[in-house]
């Protein structure tokens, strides 16, 4: 602490040493020499001159006369005699102490007041010297001191502005105003308004994107011979590789599934129950990513709320604690409602349904081609030139019903046509269902969790209602005492506010004084 005080180059070091001990043994001598090795800004003050052991006066007189090698100081030394303990016990006054000090030096045989020590003996001379040094220092370092004082003043003003506003004497009005400030801050940041960036929306968008990826991993995938057929980029699924699917159903498994549902049907007929069971294998896997998405959305929401709650109510620790508890319960309620809504949504998806007949038919045809090509083996894949050659050969034979090579594969009967149709229909249905679920789940979260919780007016109304229930009434009447207790400021914040205001006034006064010097 001493080192920090004497280290700045504009500081005059007053090195007080007692004549009752060797100078080399005194810590202040070493500390002063460390920061001022040339002795340019150190003034020495020797105390206890009346207690110097017999025979050692000469070395102390030499030191006071600035003649001791290695201990010279540009500002020199002063010798003072302060009251002894018995004089202090008698409550000696300052003026009496100075008279006794003057008498001591006038009568002392060791401290001649003329020659080298003229003007160096006594507190009065020291005080005058220090006063002159202070004035000289101020004049010399004034520009730098003014800059430092101005910089410090700006720092203090910033701290004052960063301090929470002084509470309104009407605690209920103060609470309502601050709660509305919290609600508006949450609303604006959630919407990216009034200077807030889009960070909250970006976090949600990233979360919904991860949900989409997780749902895509549950999509159907079928293995025909050695090839896995699944929805891909051409179907709007762009985030998955073939190895990312949770499970792949083989052609042999589909054959076995269809066989279990065959009764007395005509050949080639596939019972709808077989298709339903195949579809159902993949539907229930949506529940886990949906639950994880809801949980993560809640975490993002709570972080946003707590950020603004901390900013506005941190100065009121009891109210801050109670509001966190109340709002946590509100978020629990919204989360529970959203969870129930999502559960019903996924329950509806158990029932296979779409009115988009054209889209599912077109998707089924395209996917059936890919499945038949995979079943046909090496001949299922040809270059464009090979495909054109086949179509030209068919046309020259007056077979004009095939406009594409894909039509040939569709027309080609196989032993597993029914099973390939089941696979194609399953993939086509999930192509439609995927687009539906990746929109409706986030929409439910947006509405039933986020909007239900932080809609500006709804948020403040719900919190107010619960606070007044806690303090014992549905309105402000009769709740003043408990509300005042909750809205009590943090213990040290008022002291900090006063300290900063006082420091601001002193710095402003210092700048005025330095300007007028």
- Percent pLDDT > 70 in the chain is 90
Please give the angle made by the CA atoms of 98, 104 and 109, to the nearest 5 degrees: 155
One domain for residues 117 and 230? no
**Which of the residue ranges 202-211, 270-279, 396-405 would you say has the lowest mean pLDDT?**
396-405
One domain for residues 85 and 225? no
* Dmax (CA) of the chain: 144
Decide if 137 is inside a domain. no
Cα distances (Å, whole numbers) of residue 33 to 1, 3, 27, 38, 46: 16, 11, 10, 8, 16
Mean of pLDDT values over 199-214 = 95
Strands 227-230 and 221-224: antiparallel
Decide if 264 is inside a domain. yes
Q: What is the pLDDT of residues 157-181, one digit of tens each?
A: 998 888 877 888 899 999 999 999 9
Domain count, the chain: 2
Q: pLDDT at residue 379 above 60?
A: no
Say which CATH number the domain at 74 has.
Answer: 3.40.50.300
Question: Which uninterrupted H or E stretch holds 250?
Answer: strand 249-250
Q: pLDDT at residue 249 above 80?
A: yes
One domain for residues 214 and 87? no
Where does a domain end: 121, 154, 189? 121
One domain for residues 349 and 210? yes
One domain for residues 364 and 279? yes
Q: What is the pLDDT of residues 403-412, one digit of tens each?
A: 566 666 676 7
Most confident range (mean pLDDT) of 85-99, 106-120, 227-241, 429-443 is: 429-443
Q: pLDDT at residue 127 above 70?
A: yes
**Which of the residue ranges 15-24, 171-180, 407-416, 506-515 would you say has the lowest mean pLDDT?**
407-416
Decide if 241 is inside a domain. yes
One domain for residues 111 and 213? no
One domain for residues 92 and 218? no
pLDDT score for 239: 55
Among candidate residues 428, 387, 433, the one with its CA nearest the CA of residue 406: 387
Where does a domain end: 106, 121, 136? 121
One domain for residues 205 and 112? no
Q: What is the pLDDT of residues 26-61, one digit of tens each?
A: 888 889 999 999 999 999 999 999 888 888 888 999
Where does a domain end: 86, 102, 121? 121
One domain for residues 115 and 219? no
Cβ(77)–Cβ(66) below 8 Å: yes
The mean pLDDT value of the chain amounts to: 87
What's this model's pTM, rounded to 2 decimal places? Answer: 0.66
In this structure, how many other beta carbons lie within 10 angstroms of the beta carbon of residue 85?
A: 7
Mean of pLDDT values over 488-515 = 87
Mean of pLDDT values over 339-360 = 93
pLDDT score for 244: 61
Cβ(442)–Cβ(208) below 8 Å: yes
One domain for residues 115 and 206? no
Contact residues for 351 (Cβ-Cβ < 8 A; gap 6+): none
Mean of pLDDT values over 422-451 = 94
One domain for residues 449 and 310? yes
**Which of the residue ranges 90-94, 164-168, 338-342, 388-392 would you say has the lowest mean pLDDT?**
388-392
pLDDT score for 254: 95
Band of pLDDT at residue 373, cut at 50, 70 and 90: confident
Decide if 95 is inside a domain. yes
Band of pLDDT at residue 476, cut at 50, 70 and 90: very low
Say which CATH number the domain at 363 has.
Answer: 1.20.120.1240
Domain region containing 25: 2-121
Mean of pLDDT values over 500-505 = 91
**Which of the residue ranges 135-139, 394-398, 430-434 would you say has the lowest mean pLDDT?**
394-398
Decide if 476 is inside a domain. no
Mean of pLDDT values over 314-319 = 92
Decide if 472 is inside a domain. no
Mean of pLDDT values over 240-254 = 75
Most confident range (mean pLDDT) of 71-80, 107-116, 490-499 is: 71-80
Question: 3-state DSSP call for residue 398?
Answer: coil
Decide if 143 is inside a domain. no
Decide if 59 is inside a domain. yes
In degrees and rounded to multiples of 5, residue 100 shows phi and psi of -65, -35
Q: pLDDT at residue 517 above 80?
A: no
Band of pLDDT at residue 457, cut at 50, 70 and 90: confident
Long-range contacts of 242-247 (CB under 8 A, 24+ apart): 244/216, 244/217, 245/217, 245/219, 245/221, 246/217, 246/218, 246/285, 247/221, 247/281
- Written as six digits, the tokens of 270 are 């596939």
> How far apart are the C-alpha atoms of 346 and 339, rounded to whole Å?
11
Euclidean distance between the first and final Cα of the chain, in Å?
31
Most confident range (mean pLDDT) of 366-375, 400-409, 441-450 is: 441-450
């Amino acid at each position: 602490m001493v080192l920090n005080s004497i280290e700045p180059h504009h500081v005059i070091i007053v090195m007080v040493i007692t004549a009752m001990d060797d100078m080399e043994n005194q810590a202040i001598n070493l500390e002063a020499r460390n920061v001022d090795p040339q002795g340019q800004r150190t003034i020495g003050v020797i105390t206890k001159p009346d207690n110097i052991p017999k025979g050692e006066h000469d070395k102390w007189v030499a030191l006071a006369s600035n003649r001791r090698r290695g201990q010279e100081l540009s500002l020199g030394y002063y010798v003072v005699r302060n009251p002894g303990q018995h004089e202090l016990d008698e409550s000696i006054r300052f003026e009496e102490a100075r008279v006794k000090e003057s008498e001591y030096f006038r009568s002392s045989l060791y401290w001649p007041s003329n020659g080298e020590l003229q003007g160096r003996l006594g507190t009065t001379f020291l005080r005058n010297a220090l006063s002159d040094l202070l004035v000289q220092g101020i004049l010399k370092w004034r520009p730098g001191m003014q800059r430092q004082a101005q910089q410090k003043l700006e720092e203090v003003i910033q701290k004052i502005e960063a301090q929470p506003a002084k509470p309104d004497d009407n605690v209920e009005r103060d609470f309502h105003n601050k709660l509305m400030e919290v609600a508006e801050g949450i609303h604006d940041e959630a919407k990216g308004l009034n200077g807030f960036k889009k960070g909250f929306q970006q976090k949600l968008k990233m979360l919904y994107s991860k949900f989409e990826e997780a749902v895509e991993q549950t999509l159907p995938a079928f293995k025909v011979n050695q090839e896995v057929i699944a929805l891909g980029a051409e179907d709007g699924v762009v985030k998955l590789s073939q190895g990312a699917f949770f499970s792949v159903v083989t052609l042999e498994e589909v054959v076995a599934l269809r066989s279990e549902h065959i009764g007395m049907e005509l050949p080639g007929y596939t019972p709808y129950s077989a298709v339903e069971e195949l579809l159902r294998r993949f539907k229930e896997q949506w529940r886990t990513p949906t639950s994880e998405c809801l949980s993560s959305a809640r975490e993002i929401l709570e972080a946003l709320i707590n950020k603004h709650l901390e900013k506005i109510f941190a100065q009121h620790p009891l109210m801050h604690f109670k509001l966190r508890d109340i709002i946590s319960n509100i978020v629990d309620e919204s989360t529970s409602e959203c969870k129930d809504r999502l559960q019903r949504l996924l329950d509806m998806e158990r029932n296979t349904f779409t009115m988009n007949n054209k889209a599912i038919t077109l998707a089924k045809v395209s996917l059936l081609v890919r499945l038949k090509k995979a079943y046909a083996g090496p001949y299922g894949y040809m270059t464009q030139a090979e495909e054109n050659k086949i179509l030209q050969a068919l046309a020259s034979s007056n077979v004009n019903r095939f406009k594409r090579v894909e039509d040939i594969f569709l027309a080609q009967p196989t032993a597993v046509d029914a099973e390939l149709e089941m696979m194609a229909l399953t993939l086509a249905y999930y192509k439609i269902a995927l687009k539906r679920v990746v929109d409706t789940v986030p929409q439910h979260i947006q509405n039933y969790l986020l909007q239900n919780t932080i809609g500006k007016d709804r948020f403040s109304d719900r919190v107010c209602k619960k606070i007044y229930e806690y303090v014992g009434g549905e309105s402000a009447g009769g709740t003043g005492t408990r509300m005042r207790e909750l809205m009590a400021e943090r213990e040290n914040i008022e002291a900090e506010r006063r300290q900063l205001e006082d420091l601001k006034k002193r710095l402003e006064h210092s700048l005025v004084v330095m300007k007028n010097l």
